[in-house]
Structure 1
Amino acid sequence: MTSEQTYPSVFKVGLVQMSPKPLDPAYNFSVAVAHIQDAASQGASLVVLPEYHLTSWVPDDPKFASLASKAWDYTLKYQEIAKDLNINIVPGTIVTTDPNSTSNSKAPQQEIPKPDADDFAILEGGSASAPLLFNVAPFISQTGELLGLYTKANLWLPEREYLTAHPPVSPPASTTTTTTTTTTTGTRPAAREPHNSSSSSRHSVIQTPLGPVGILTCWDLAFPEAFRALIRQGARMIIIPSFWLNTDIPLEARKYSEDTESTFLRATLVSRAFENTCAVVFCNAGGPAEEGYIGLSQVAMPLLGVVPGSFAGPEAGMRIVEVDMNAVDIAETAYGVRADLANPDWHYGDG
């Protein structure tokens, strides 16, 4: 795709707020496919699934890591579905040991090189022999092409014992896929930053049929720097698969308010859309409130706030939301955020 590419100004997005069955990827895949088919039948150009949609988040179970060894096969299945239904898909995240394991010659190979001793430090209590699990969000085009992927950079505190944070870098000039660079890892937070770890190297824009897109994942939402890194590269839409529950914080924090995490999401999603003049497509897991689910999958836009049709609660299901990207352009005319970010003399540097 070139900079002269024209993109649709108005399109529909399917938000799949599903409740993943723990450690049952075959069942969860079948649920996801049914929702994708429904979204396509309603004219959606894009469908987004939640983080951990294939397995839920049960990292203490040995099967969680075992399933990761073959999880990338589902990406190939989603590629076939995208092509068959003529729909762009962000299949949430897929926890995988190595996306390069695919033998599908039609899919671009996504390099996730293994870290070496010079690139990270294991703190006390860590283990250099622990399996490396990557939390990867692919973008699959309506033609079935894997256009790029994002590996979660900002791990939520409990994730750091199990997952490898792996900052992506900009793709080589000869390819349109996203590659990655060195990483920080371990069973505790890394002691220092990896080499070449500026915010722009952690986050790369993917050129898609819907325009320049950035992908972030769940807790990345808490970091404005991640958004700014993508906006400075031209992203107009940020897609955020998530597995964000009300029970993610300690009980002592919840004593202040039972709605703390819902308040966090409602405030932050709309703020990120306004302060970056971009569309924010957030897709969270859904399910019974008594099990901690808060849902709130939504499209947030500058000028508009939460777009009608978005989820207002935790219920599982699929909803279609119409996205008017003209609002992004009009908001930029009003606020000039992107123009300021593009200024070489911008007060805050490269971020």
Structure 2
Amino acid sequence: MAPVYKIAVIQLHPKPLNPEANFLKASSFIASAASQGAHLAVLPDPRAPTQHLHRPRHHRRIPPPSSSPSSSSANPDNNDDHPTLLNKTHFISPTGSILHSYTKKNLWHPERAHLTSSSHDAHESFDTPLGKVGLLICWDLAFPEAFRELIADGAKIIIIPTFWTLSDCNEYGLRKNPMSEDLFLESMVTARAYENTCCVVFVNAGAPVGGRDKGTYAGMSRVALPFVGALGEETKGSREEGMSVVEVDMEMLEQAEANYGVRGDLAKEGWHYTYRHQGKGRL
């Protein structure tokens, strides 16, 4: 019988460049998730404002990965006066060790002046108590190639800490549809679960409860599975800070693969989609 896991989706309202406050709030949510029997707790990308990331005085305020339970952090690698800033997410085991780290590959356009991509490094799955897991961050969601590489490497659960706002859409798109980013996230998260016969854990930042800036935060954190779509009643329709604890029956992934055969096709010798991008803007 396939296992059933409880996953806590924590739609935190992170305070940029305030790791102490984020740590305390995250710890409280994680304790609540543990009391509800969660096997895994996932936090959003706390993302520092990109316009500040190049300033050395802010680098001292960005925590190393071991000092915070946050899912994602920007880590400086100092080289004289020109630090390399990486947006990294970490999977922390029940004993507190870091099982795997991932550096964001697909940088959102304003980030590219300040952050360094993992570029041609392979997307790799890794072993956890919940089976094979893959990590992505935020804008990686838009690239199906990232998911394909992870599931080809055996990932069954793909975790995506995110800081995604409604204002990430340009003025033209917002005139056409003020909720354009809602449509993007709702469509993409579910599509990625179906087309890869996997569980997608998408966790976005939320607005402060009762705050005035609810119109900025997209929220919509959820766990998506084939056949049933989005789970997480407390967060999937909400923009505010909160938490959902959902049950993920891994049999659903087995049955989805039996029905659609995506992984089986990818594993075939001579499978016809064999291209790799070569970094020159063309296939």
- For normalisation by structure 2, the TM-score amounts to 0.89
Q: Paired residue for 2:261, among 333, 336, 345? A: 336
Aligned partner of 1:227 in structure 2 is 147
Residues in 2 aligned to 1:335 and 1:62: alpha-carbon distance in whole angstroms: 44
Q: Paired residue for 1:282, among 174, 198, 202? A: 202
Maintained 8 Å contact 1:8/1:210: no
Residues in 1 aligned to 2:134 and 2:82: alpha-carbon distance in whole angstroms: 30
Residues in 2 aligned to 1:24 and 1:76: alpha-carbon distance in whole angstroms: 12
- The Cα of 1:8 is off from its aligned counterpart by 6.7
Maintained 8 Å contact 1:237/1:280: yes
Residue ranges of structure 1 left out of the alignment (5+ in a row): 1-6, 79-90, 102-113, 115-127, 168-196
Residues in 2 aligned to 1:333 and 1:17: alpha-carbon distance in whole angstroms: 33
Maintained 8 Å contact 2:222/2:230: yes
Residues in 2 aligned to 1:65 and 1:212: alpha-carbon distance in whole angstroms: 38
| Partner SS state of residue 44, structure 2 | coil
Aligned partner of 2:246 in structure 1 is 321
Maintained 8 Å contact 2:182/2:218: yes
Residue correspondence of structure 1 range 104-183 to structure 2 within 5 A:
130-167=82-119
- Tell me, yes or no, if structure 1 residue 261 matches structure 2 residue 181: yes
- The Cα of 1:252 is off from its aligned counterpart by 2.4
Residues in 1 aligned to 2:21 and 2:232: alpha-carbon distance in whole angstroms: 30
Relative to structure 1, is the Cα distance of residues 203 and 43 closer, same or farther in structure 2, using a 3 angstrom cutoff? same
Aligned partner of 1:345 in structure 2 is 270
Relative to structure 1, is the Cα distance of residues 260 and 271 closer, same or farther in structure 2, using a 3 angstrom cutoff? same
| Partner SS state of residue 184, structure 2 | helix
| Partner SS state of residue 118, structure 2 | coil
CA shift digits 1:234-279 (9 cap, x unpaired): 0001000000000112222211111000100000000000000000
Aligned partner of 1:94 in structure 2 is 73
Aligned partner of 1:248 in structure 2 is 168
- The Cα of 1:162 is off from its aligned counterpart by 1.1
Q: Paired residue for 2:193, among 273, 280, 301? A: 273
* Aligned length in residues: 271
- The Cα of 1:221 is off from its aligned counterpart by 0.3
The one-letter code of the counterpart of 2:89 is A
Aligned partner of 1:298 in structure 2 is 222
Maintained 8 Å contact 2:19/2:61: no
CA shift digits 1:122-145 (9 cap, x unpaired): xxxxxx964310000001111212
The one-letter code of the counterpart of 1:206 is F
- Tell me, yes or no, if structure 1 residue 24 matches structure 2 residue 3: no
Q: Paired residue for 1:59, among 22, 27, 50? A: 50
Relative to structure 1, is the Cα distance of residues 17 and 61 closer, same or farther in structure 2, using a 3 angstrom cutoff? same
**% same residue:** 42
RMSD: 2.3
Larger relative contact order (Cα-Cα within 8 Å, sequence gap ≥ 6): 2
- Tell me, yes or no, if structure 1 residue 38 matches structure 2 residue 29: no
Maintained 8 Å contact 2:23/2:68: no
| Partner SS state of residue 135, structure 1 | strand
Relative to structure 1, is the Cα distance of residues 271 and 285 closer, same or farther in structure 2, using a 3 angstrom cutoff? same
Relative to structure 1, is the Cα distance of residues 306 and 139 closer, same or farther in structure 2, using a 3 angstrom cutoff? same
Relative to structure 1, is the Cα distance of residues 342 and 67 closer, same or farther in structure 2, using a 3 angstrom cutoff? same
Maintained 8 Å contact 1:246/1:262: yes
Aligned partner of 2:280 in structure 1 is none
Maintained 8 Å contact 2:17/2:61: no
Relative to structure 1, is the Cα distance of residues 20 and 266 closer, same or farther in structure 2, using a 3 angstrom cutoff? same
Relative to structure 1, is the Cα distance of residues 8 and 151 closer, same or farther in structure 2, using a 3 angstrom cutoff? farther
Maintained 8 Å contact 2:52/2:58: no
Maintained 8 Å contact 2:19/2:68: no
CA shift digits 1:57-91 (9 cap, x unpaired): 3232369754444644452454xxxxxxxxxxxx3
The one-letter code of the counterpart of 1:50 is P
Residues in 1 aligned to 2:169 and 2:232: alpha-carbon distance in whole angstroms: 29
Moved more, 312-321 or 220-229: 312-321
| Partner SS state of residue 231, structure 1 | helix
- For normalisation by structure 1, the TM-score amounts to 0.72
